[in-house]
Amino acid sequence: MFTELLLCLVVGGLIFFLVQRNRSQVLTTEDGWWGAGAPPDGGEDDSIRPFKVTTSEEELEDLCRRIDLTRPVASLEDSQFQYGFNSQYLQKVVSYWRNDFDWRRQVDKLNQYPHFKTNIEGIDVHYVHLKPKRVPEGTSALPLIMVHGWPGSFYEFYGMIPLLTEQSNPDDLVFEVVCPSIPGYGFSEAPHKKGFDSVCAARIFHKLMKRLGFQQFYAHGGDWGWLVTTNMAQLEPKTVKGLHVNFAPASKPGLPMALSIMLGNRFPKLFNFTDVDIQRLFPCMDKLVVESIKESGYMHIQATKPDTVGRGLNDSPVGLAAYILEKFSTWTSKDFRNLEDGGLTRKFSLDDLLTNVMIYWTSGCITSSMRFYKENFAKGLDQPHSKIPVHVPTGFACFPNELMHTPRLWVKQKYHQLLTYTPMVSGGHFAAMEEPQLMAEDIQLFTKIVEKKK
């Protein structure tokens, strides 16, 4: 009896030690300098400068001239979007862009919210910062940083911003929203040196939020924004009050995940798998491999030789539009590959899609945006942040047409304080832009739970 008790105490103590050691893990990082040349002797300019999106008449004339000089290529018969962007439909999109799209009006729309720039670690960081007009008496606005991915931009969040900064219901929380452009994207300056990865972006955004006066804040992200905000939570878990994501690819497999892959199809209840989990996770292996090949070609290019393809896309607006908009088709729903128009306007307007393309074109950022893949993958998949769990309260919005399905069990392997896991009725990879109402509601749900717990 004594031996059994002693064994229990030893095993229990070992488990407690391992859990506590795991809990104490925090991602570490060092300041960098990403500006051209060496850091100045006088230190960093920490001023905040108002910014407006502008485009000169010469730039627009150059764009039109390049569009007019495009050389169409005929698509194969009955190929829809299965070979990429259908060339016949691309001509229609280009015609709309050239003749009907009103960029001046879209610039006004972009400038409806206040934009700013500030220099951090040698590069100018662009962000949108909107404070709520009215805050309910006895409460305060909650700071929230929202981070985009590729090939998106800060513009993805424009449909969500008014839903978060204004009350729809009396019990709604209101947020003070900050939407930065990842360095190398949109109107944020591109790093001039090698090595700028998601952890560097996370460190810079922490500095941005501190510069704005926020000691604690919430964070939301999808696509690369998922990894940047996750790194923010790993770097300073006491600063990030809550983390909300809508993309969470399976992290390094542990024993529960491995067992669920082997046995989940036969014993779904054992792993709390739903019917959706079974449908998304257990098609035949051939289908999984083929689907992966169909949709991952861009990633191999960008993770190895981004500057090569980037040069061509930076010269050709039509090529750039095809490259970016094809993702807004297939990543919204893989079934859109079977449609002549790629289903582009089923969930988005051409005005919104082309506005996102114009952000890439006018800033000339396509090459630097793709380098983010190179910098993150160049260090391998076994980076320090991949081994460190997240102990910040977390909410996950599970959209049915997301590129990778992650069941609750797998999300909890990485995010140990998973407070909400919401299966959404519709939406794909660009969920913030496609389903702003659903996303805003889920952020409200998650944040209310965190605030109530606190």
* Beta strands in 121-201, from DSSP E residues, in sequence order: 123-130, 142-147, 175-180
By mean pLDDT, which of 37-46, 175-184, 288-297 is the weakest? Answer: 288-297
Residue with the larger pLDDT of the pair 436 and 276: 436
The secondary element (H helix, E strand) that includes residue 449 is helix 436-453
Confidence class of residue 13 from pLDDT cuts 50, 70 and 90? very low
The arithmetic mean of pLDDT across residues 387-395, rounded, is: 96
Give the ranges where 270-423 is alpha helix by DSSP (H). Answer: 275-281, 285-302, 306-315, 317-330, 344-347, 350-363, 366-377, 384-387, 408-414
pLDDT per residue as tens digits for the range 196-253:
999 999 999 999 999 999 999 999 999 999 999 999 999 999 999 999 999 999 876 6
Q: How far apart are CA 181 and CA 156, in angstroms?
A: 11
Q: How far apart are CA 282 and CA 294, in angstroms?
A: 18
Of 115, 129, 148, 223, the catalytic one is 223
Contacts of 418 (CB under 8 A, 6+ apart): 394, 395, 396, 408, 411, 412
223 counts as catalytic: yes
Q: Look over the chain and give the mean of its residue pLDDT values, rounded to a whole number.
A: 91
Q: Which amino acid is at 82?
A: Q
The arithmetic mean of pLDDT across residues 259-287, rounded, is: 80
Of 129, 220, 385, 429, the catalytic one is 429
Cα-flanking dihedrals φ and ψ of residue 273, to 5°? Answer: -80, 135
405 counts as catalytic: no
| Domain locations in the chain as residue ranges | 48-252+283-453
Confidence class of residue 44 from pLDDT cuts 50, 70 and 90? confident
Length of the chain: 454
Q: How far apart are CA 365 and CA 214, in angstroms?
A: 29
Q: Which residue has the tokens 């993770």?
A: 303
8 A C-beta contact, residue 344 and residue 284 = no
Closest by Cα among 438, 235, 248, 244 to 347: 438
Closest by Cα among 406, 392, 408 to 454: 392
* 3-state SS, residue 424: coil
What is the DSSP-derived secondary structure letter of residue 398? E
pLDDT per residue as tens digits for the range 99-114:
999 999 999 999 999 9
Provide the pLDDT for residue 210. Answer: 98
Provide the pLDDT for residue 286. Answer: 61
8 A C-beta contact, residue 131 and residue 116 = no
pLDDT per residue as tens digits for the range 118-140:
999 999 999 999 999 999 888 89
3-state secondary structure 78-114: CCCCCCCCCHHHHHHHHHHHHHCCCHHHHHHHHCCCC
Query: What does pTM read for this prediction?
Result: 0.92
Provide the pLDDT for residue 436. Answer: 98
Q: How is domain 48-252+283-453 classified at the CATH fold level?
A: Rossmann fold (3.40.50)
Q: How far is CA 371 from the centre of its chain?
A: 15
Closest by Cα among 442, 440, 451 to 167: 440
pLDDT per residue as tens digits for the range 401-448:
999 899 999 999 999 999 999 999 999 999 999 999 999 999 999 999
8 A C-beta contact, residue 353 and residue 153 = no
Confidence class of residue 288 from pLDDT cuts 50, 70 and 90? low
Provide the pLDDT for residue 6. Answer: 42
Q: How far apart are CA 124 and CA 118, in angstroms?
A: 5
Provide the pLDDT for residue 303. Answer: 97
Provide the pLDDT for residue 284. Answer: 66
Partners of 304 in the beta sheet?
none
pLDDT per residue as tens digits for the range 45-91:
999 999 999 999 999 999 999 999 999 999 999 999 999 999 999 99
Provide the pLDDT for residue 420. Answer: 98
The arithmetic mean of pLDDT across residues 345-364, rounded, is: 98
Which residues in 284-318 are b (16+ Cβ under 10 Å) and which e? eeeeeeeeeeeeeebeebbbeebeebbeebbebbb
Paired sense of beta strands 217-221 and 48-51, if any: unpaired
Q: Which long-range contacts (CB under 8 A, 24 or more apart) does 255-258 make?
A: 256/409, 256/413, 257/409, 257/410, 257/413
Confidence class of residue 168 from pLDDT cuts 50, 70 and 90? confident
Contacts of 394 (CB under 8 A, 6+ apart): 233, 242, 243, 244, 245, 411, 415, 417, 418, 419
Closest by Cα among 144, 23, 28, 15 to 390: 23
What is the DSSP-derived secondary structure letter of residue 180? E
126 counts as catalytic: no
Helix axis angle, 350-363 to 103-110, nearest 10°: 80
Residue with the larger pLDDT of the pair 42 and 374: 374
Of 373, 415, 421, 442, the catalytic one is 373
* 3-state SS, residue 120: strand
Q: Which amino acid is at 164?
A: L
The arithmetic mean of pLDDT across residues 263-269, rounded, is: 83
Distances (CA, A) of 194 to 197, 200, 201: 9, 11, 13
The secondary element (H helix, E strand) that includes residue 432 is helix 431-434
Q: What is the CA radius of gyration of the chain?
A: 23
